[in-house]
Chain A
C-alpha cells in the first residue's frame, strides 16, 4: 500500500466513524412498514367518520406506530449492548418536536372546526417539516421522505383552498377526504420508504 493509499484508507475510517456517530435513523424500515400498514388500516376504519371520531382513529394508529418504533429502538439498542436513550435520539426529538406539536395542535383545531381534510393537510405538512428539521443527522432517504410529505401537504392544502385552478377539481373531489389524504401520505409514502430500506438493506446508508 502506498502512502497515498494509506492516507485515503485512514480518511475512509474517519469518515465512516463520523457518520456512525452523527447519523441517526429515527424511523427504521420496519417501523415505516408497520406505520404505513397502520395508516392504511386507520384510513379504512375512519373513511366514513367525522370530527373527533375520525381523529380518535388516527391518534390510536399514531400511538401504535410510536409504540412499535420505541420497541424497535429498544431492540436495536439491546442488540448492540448500548443504550436506547442515545444523544442521537435526543437530538432527533429536540429537532422534530416543535413542528410535531404545532402541526398536531393545528390539526386538532381543524378537527374541532369540522374539517378533517384540512387537519390531514396540516399533519402531513408538519410531519414532513419535522423530518426535514433533523436532516443534518438523518440518512438521505429520510430527507427525501420529508420532502415528499411537505410537497404533498402543500399541494393538497393549495388545492383545497382552490389555488391550483379547476383542472385539479376532479382529483380533489376524490381526495377531499382526510382519510384518503392520510392514506396516500402516511400509508403510501411510508410503505415505499420502508420497502426501499428493508429490501436494499440501506441501514448503513449515510450520505445525507
Chain B
C-alpha cells in the first residue's frame, strides 16, 4: 500500500521538479543563467524556487566572482538526490497501481 503522504510537496511543484531534474541530469554544477535559459522562468520566479529547495536542504548554491560577471552555481546534494529518487519511486508505484 502506498503512503501518499510520502510525496514530497517541495519537489512535487512543477517548477521545482524541473529544477531538481536538471540538476540531477548532470554531475557538473548548473549556472543560474543556464537554468533560466532551459526553464524559461523569470529571474524572480527561479530565485524563489531555488531558495525553497536550498531551504529544504536539497540543493547547494555557490557564488563565484571571477574575472567575469559574478554567477551562482547550483548542484544537487546527497539528500536532494535521495529525495528525488524517493519521489521517482513513489511516482512509479502510483503508475504500477493503475495497471
Residues of A in contact with B (beta carbons under 8 Å apart): 3-4, 7-8, 10-11, 13-14, 17-18, 20-22, 80-83, 86-87
Contacts and interface: CB of A to CB of B under 8 A. Distances in A.
A20 B26 contact: no
Interface string B17-60: 11001100110100101101110000000000000000000000
Interface majority SS (helix, strand, loop, mixed), chain B: helix
Contacts of B88: 14
A97 B14 CA distance: 38
B82 interface: no
B34 A86 contact: yes
Contacts of A80: 37
Nearest to A8: B95
Contacts of A87: 26, 28
Contacts of B38: 17, 20-21, 82
B34 A82 contact: yes
Nearest to A86: B34
Nearest to B30: A21
A21 B98 contact: no
A18 B33 contact: no
B33 A82 contact: yes
Nearest to B36: A81
Contacts of A14: 17, 21, 88
A14, A83, A86, A87: residue with the most chain B Cβ atoms closer than 10 Å: A14
A81 B25 contact: no
A25 to B, nearest CB: 15
Interface string B60-79: 00000000000000000000
Of all A-B residue pairs in the complex, the 8 with the closest CB atoms, nearest first, are: A82-B37, A17-B21, A21-B25, A7-B94, A4-B98, A80-B37, A7-B91, A14-B21
B33 to A, nearest CB: 6
Nearest to B99: A4
Contacts of B31: 83
